[in-house]
Structure 1
Amino acid sequence: MRILLTGGTVLSLDPAVGDFASGDVLVEDGVIVEVAERIDAPDAEVIDATDRIVLPGFVDTHRHTWQTAFRGMGADWTFADYLATMHGTLRPRYQPEDVYLGNLLGRLEALHSGVTTMLDWFHCAESPEHADAAVAGLRDAPGRSIFCYGAGWGTTDPIDAEIRRVHSGFSGNGLVTMALGLRGADYTTMDTVASDLELAAELGLRTSLHVASVGTQRPIADLREHRLLRATTTFVHANGIADDELRMLADVGSSVSISPDVELKMGFGWPMTGRVLAAGLRPALSIDDCPAVGGDMFSTMRTAYAVQRGLDGGLRSRDLLEYATVDGARACGLETRTGSLTPGKDADVILLRADDLTVFPVFDPAGTVVTAGHPGLVDTVLVAGHVVKHDGVLVDVDLPALRARLLESRDRIATAAGIPLGGTWRPLPESE
């Protein structure tokens, strides 16, 4: 199966390949085989990329996808509101079917906006059936997904048997793979972190954990003291982490995932983009949770860019494209498979409309994508060479039926939780 993307403005995100004002990308059996100004492939299926910007699909390194049904509910939430509502009030009412629908619709929405690779940080493991439903939701969406299982999140309960059970259902290097969501260092004990890391190493799983510094806390230094820093771990947020601790992460080869919109809105502190770079790390980007923020990488890039430019005048627009593609792929351990339009990598490709009035005329393609891009520009999406969105429409997806099921799920959970639908809702302070 050969596909030729022809006549588009190509941003390869690979310095060895370069960019083309007008170029072609040839895909064979799901893999990029050539990127050039002009490719002769008379036997290939042709996708006309005229008036399109062709670039690698975005990589979201951390999203709590199960929360999709409550999109927009947390627009005004603090982090305390989020914990009280999503985890204290709503999560206990979730049934496996609710998890399945949240993951499926959330993953489809990410694909719709050009996110070809997404790490699903799952911490709604109310039962083994909930975990199985989350995996099924990802598998029923045609994207490249990583099920990062946060089993026993916030506890010291044994998780070995459950992790092994879920892991046994994964095989090879398919589109849906597995990672382990660590429970420390902010939420549990060092012994628990050590045990989880040992299990992850045995099963060959990468790991991810939420971390921040409050007051005099030095979580990264504590992990290093206990010899628990790993190159295969992604640290999410890292707000307030000291500069020398960031250098510890750089020394061991860890990665950092920044969620700028949530971090600013919920009071985590300034996104760590500039400080992470100064420490010798390359940041990756993530959405975090859609009840509070939009689910697209365009707004995420724009926020990270504007904030850091405001703080120190640093960064170029193209830097943000790299964080959202090649650096995200590296943080997920997928740098040899995706993240750039490099011959030999899987064809995870998106085509953005350059003739849309919101961006026309395009002078600087990279600058336009970062400063003015939005999901409405996403015309075509390929994952491993398969067209999953074309002419602005997801392929072979019955959205009306799925929308109806998700609304039914949301309404049932909200009613069970005693939360009225519509308008603004926040939990009452404890004093009230």
Structure 2
Amino acid sequence: MRTYITGGTVVDTEPEPHALPGAVVVIEDGVIVSVGPDPGPPEPGAEVVDATGRIVMPGLVDTHRHLWQAVLRGVCADRTLGEYLTLVLGRLAPAYDPGDVYAGVLWGALEALDAGVTTVFDWSHVQLTPDHTDAEVAALRESGVRAVFAYGHPGTDDAGRDPGAVRRMREKHFPAGEPGLVTPAFAAWGPVFGPPEAAREDWLLARELDLRISLHAMGEGPVERLHEMGLLGPDVLFVHVNGVPDDGLKLIAGTGGTASVTPEVECRMGHGLPETGRLRAAGVATGLGADTVTVVPGDLFSAMRAALAAENSRPGRGDAPRLTTADVLRMATIEGAAAIGMDDRIGSLRPGKQADIVLLDGEAAGLAPVHDPVAAVVGAGPAAVDTVFVAGRAVKRGGRLLGTGTSTGTSTGPNTGPNTGTGRARELAARSAERLARL
């Protein structure tokens, strides 16, 4: 069946963000067929979505988020990075059971969809057992979000590393063939937190299993060590990179590596000013991430505005070009898709790509009147997200999430029971949060 989105102001992002007032978006079998002038009357049985007063845009791409932490919302709002590591990773994460993982990931993924984030790079370092992994993948698939599940060892030492568990994840959940909306990756600790030899083994394993690699890296050292070990490459996504020297950024760019900046978290937790401008000036494809809702809201509108404010107020910028609303919208869409290796499928409204599409209410208070559609998108918030499609399937309409996306209508996670949509997911999250709060 075809779907026609008509009457809206289309904002595409390729090659650069631009508006196409009155364009019609045609979708068939989850793929964008055309974007342009009215193609004429829809055929019988086609769905017509009236987007009058709406801004029609590509779904947002979050390049770094820990979805499992959704049930810990706000617990580190006023904490530093060190305090976060002590509380969340040191005390709470080891207490997670598979049900907590399932509840957090499901609720976090629905939160992302509600805010117009159709793709999440889910950096998960709570893989305590195979059951935890099974719960996470089940929750991602049930939610209906497009996700990259980045498997992370639960610890930085050899006791926490289990290559066999990584192989099991790949073989059980992502066998050869089209994996659907959820695809695998590897969340690496080293060489930042672990010994160099462990990093080498992890890199070789990830590449054997065809897994994109993502790691947190800040300051002088991590990029240089990876270069010395011959481990840099186009399959490596660096997160944060605050304080990485210019030579390190050149090494990333020269080997085709990419980056994810989480501007609000970095400013609030003391990482340092986001390196948005330096990364882009070095030629590194750079996306945005919400990172953790233990500290900040789980939407990319906030991240776009934080990136703008931080970069344009950076001391010593001199005559460097100002970061613009078009720049940050590109980072939240097509450039973010490039950062995670998916710009051939998502991030813009180019025909042939997956129909991950968001409609914003351009008549809402705070957005209307719309003079500049690109600026309006960056100035919006989750409340303006009216409709969301993932691969052509509506997951939100009229400002309301439609529920979770299992084809059977029942949960396949550890907490089984009827699939009653977001109400059930909220209840599971509340139960998990209550249990963890007692620790």
Shorter chain as denominator, the TM-score bin is over 0.9
What is residue 329 of structure 1 aligned with on the other side?
337
CA contact (8 A) 1:58 1:114 kept: yes
What is residue 358 of structure 2 aligned with on the other side?
350
Out of 159, 162, 167, the residue aligned to residue 159 of structure 1 is 162
CA contact (8 A) 2:64 2:123 kept: yes
Out of 351, 357, 380, the residue aligned to residue 387 of structure 2 is 380
What is residue 427 of structure 1 aligned with on the other side?
none
What is residue 264 of structure 1 aligned with on the other side?
267
Matches within 5 A, 1:188-267: 188-213=194-219, 217-267=220-270
Out of 179, 183, 195, the residue aligned to residue 189 of structure 2 is 183
What is residue 23 of structure 1 aligned with on the other side?
23
Tell me, yes or no, if structure 1 residue 340 matches structure 2 residue 348. Answer: yes
Could you list the per-position Cα deviations for residues 295-323 of structure 1 after superposition, in whole angstroms to 9, with x for gaps in the alignment?
00000000001111112461111111100
Tell me, yes or no, if structure 1 residue 148 matches structure 2 residue 150. Answer: yes
Shift of 1:52: 0.5
Tell me, yes or no, if structure 1 residue 68 matches structure 2 residue 91. Answer: no
Ranges in structure 2 where 5+ consecutive residues have no aligned partner = 405-420
Partner Cα separation in structure 2 for residue 402 and residue 143 of structure 1: 14
Q: Which moved more, 1:150-159 or 1:324-333?
A: 150-159
Aligned residues: 412
What is residue 130 of structure 2 aligned with on the other side?
128
Partner Cα separation in structure 2 for residue 173 and residue 135 of structure 1: 11
Secondary structure of 2:62's aligned partner: strand
CA contact (8 A) 1:284 1:323 kept: yes
Out of 54, 58, 61, the residue aligned to residue 60 of structure 2 is 58
Shift of 1:400: 2.4
Out of 89, 109, 113, the residue aligned to residue 111 of structure 2 is 109
Out of 361, 367, 386, the residue aligned to residue 369 of structure 2 is 361
AA in 2 matched with 1:376: A
What is residue 429 of structure 1 aligned with on the other side?
none
Partner Cα separation in structure 1 for residue 166 and residue 222 of structure 2: 25
AA in 2 matched with 1:249: I
Runs (4 or more) in structure 1 with deviation over 3 Å come to 15-19
AA in 2 matched with 1:134: E
What is residue 289 of structure 1 aligned with on the other side?
292
Summarize the Cα distance change of 1:366–1:17 in structure 2 as closer, same or farther, 3 Å threshold: closer
Ranges in structure 1 where 5+ consecutive residues have no aligned partner = 418-432
What is residue 118 of structure 1 aligned with on the other side?
120
Partner Cα separation in structure 1 for residue 109 and residue 76 of structure 2: 19
Secondary structure of 1:295's aligned partner: coil
Shift of 1:240: 0.5
Shift of 1:41: 4.5
Partner Cα separation in structure 2 for residue 207 and residue 223 of structure 1: 12
Give the alignment's Cα RMSD to 1 decimal. Answer: 1.4
AA in 2 matched with 1:399: T
Secondary structure of 2:113's aligned partner: helix
Shift of 1:262: 0.8
CA contact (8 A) 1:65 1:106 kept: yes
Could you list the per-position Cα deviations for residues 161-205 of structure 1 after superposition, in whole angstroms to 9, with x for gaps in the alignment?
100101112142410110001121211122111111111111111
Partner Cα separation in structure 2 for residue 39 and residue 361 of structure 1: 28
Partner Cα separation in structure 2 for residue 41 and residue 256 of structure 1: 44
What is residue 431 of structure 2 aligned with on the other side?
408
Summarize the Cα distance change of 1:151–1:92 in structure 2 as closer, same or farther, 3 Å threshold: same
Partner Cα separation in structure 1 for residue 215 and residue 364 of structure 2: 39
CA contact (8 A) 1:234 1:256 kept: yes
Shift of 1:404: 2.0
Residue identity (%): 43
Secondary structure of 2:193's aligned partner: coil
Partner Cα separation in structure 2 for residue 59 and residue 362 of structure 1: 23
Shift of 1:140: 0.8
Partner Cα separation in structure 1 for residue 371 and residue 398 of structure 2: 23
Shift of 1:399: 2.2
AA in 1 matched with 2:20: F
AA in 1 matched with 2:180: G
What is residue 6 of structure 1 aligned with on the other side?
6
Partner Cα separation in structure 2 for residue 333 and residue 278 of structure 1: 20
Summarize the Cα distance change of 1:113–1:17 in structure 2 as closer, same or farther, 3 Å threshold: closer
Secondary structure of 1:244's aligned partner: helix
What is residue 89 of structure 1 aligned with on the other side?
91
Summarize the Cα distance change of 1:328–1:363 in structure 2 as closer, same or farther, 3 Å threshold: same
AA in 2 matched with 1:42: P
Summarize the Cα distance change of 1:200–1:50 in structure 2 as closer, same or farther, 3 Å threshold: same
Could you list the per-position Cα deviations for residues 100-149 of structure 1 after superposition, in whole angstroms to 9, with x for gaps in the alignment?
00000000000000000001100112211111111111111011011100
Shift of 1:159: 2.2
CA contact (8 A) 1:9 1:53 kept: yes
Q: Which moved more, 1:278-287 or 1:153-162?
A: 153-162
Shift of 1:374: 0.3
Summarize the Cα distance change of 1:325–1:394 in structure 2 as closer, same or farther, 3 Å threshold: same
Shift of 1:230: 1.3
AA in 2 matched with 1:32: I
Secondary structure of 1:140's aligned partner: helix
CA contact (8 A) 2:238 2:259 kept: yes
Secondary structure of 2:140's aligned partner: helix
CA contact (8 A) 2:9 2:55 kept: yes
